[in-house]
Structure 1
Amino acid sequence: MAEDAGFEPGARGVMDYPEHERTYGRFLGLVKYGTIVVVAILVFMLMYFIAAAGVITSFLSALVFGGVASFLMATGDQKSMKH
């Protein structure tokens, strides 16, 4: 038969709120900056394949977009994370 698990199945544990907030903050950062990277890749592909702008111009366009979007996201964090 099954052995004793060593814990009560219905018991509630204590939640570690600081760890929860750190994990949530990291998740939000991953989503925000991951989205910026994906859209920057799409900007590169748009400029290179559709606009025929060349590799260097396409790369610079994606880099400028990524920089501006990262700056805007970072300044938004200062305002939105104050509770």
Structure 2
Amino acid sequence: MSEHHTGPVEVGAEMNYAEHEKTYSAFLAMTKFGTMLVCVLMLAMVAGFFTSAGLLGGLVVFLVLSAAGFVLLR
């Protein structure tokens, strides 16, 4: 703190805004689809464990809802 700078203080490298936008878009897509998959997994587990659907019924629920989710979230 006691240093006295006589020249301009560097604030970092120049921002690459195009790359920043691509990274942010990828983050949003991963968040959106990841949330959808976790919700679908929970619904499939409910169908598989708490109903008479069993393992195969839960798997069918997971596959159908995952396909519907991917189509609807595009």
Structure 1 residues 12 and 46: alpha-carbon distance in aligned structure 2, compared to 1, 3 A threshold: same
Write the mapping of 1:3-82 to structure 2, written as runs, cut at 5 A. Answer: 9=9, 11=11, 13-74=13-74
How much has 1:11 moved relative to structure 2? Answer: 2.8
Equivalent pairs counted in the alignment come to: 67
Ranges in structure 1 where 5+ consecutive residues have no aligned partner: 1-7, 75-83
For the 8 Å contact 2:48–2:56, the answer to whether it is kept is no
Q: TM-score, normalised by structure 1?
A: 0.70
Question: Once superposed, what is the RMSD of the aligned Cα atoms?
Answer: 1.7
Q: Comparing 60-69 with 48-57, which one deviates more in the overlay? A: 48-57
Q: TM-score, normalised by structure 2?
A: 0.78
Name segments (4+ residues, structure 1) moved above 6 Å: none
Write the distance in 2 (CA, Å) between the matches of 1:61 and 1:9.
Answer: 58
Which structure: larger Rg? Answer: 2
How much has 1:44 moved relative to structure 2? Answer: 1.4
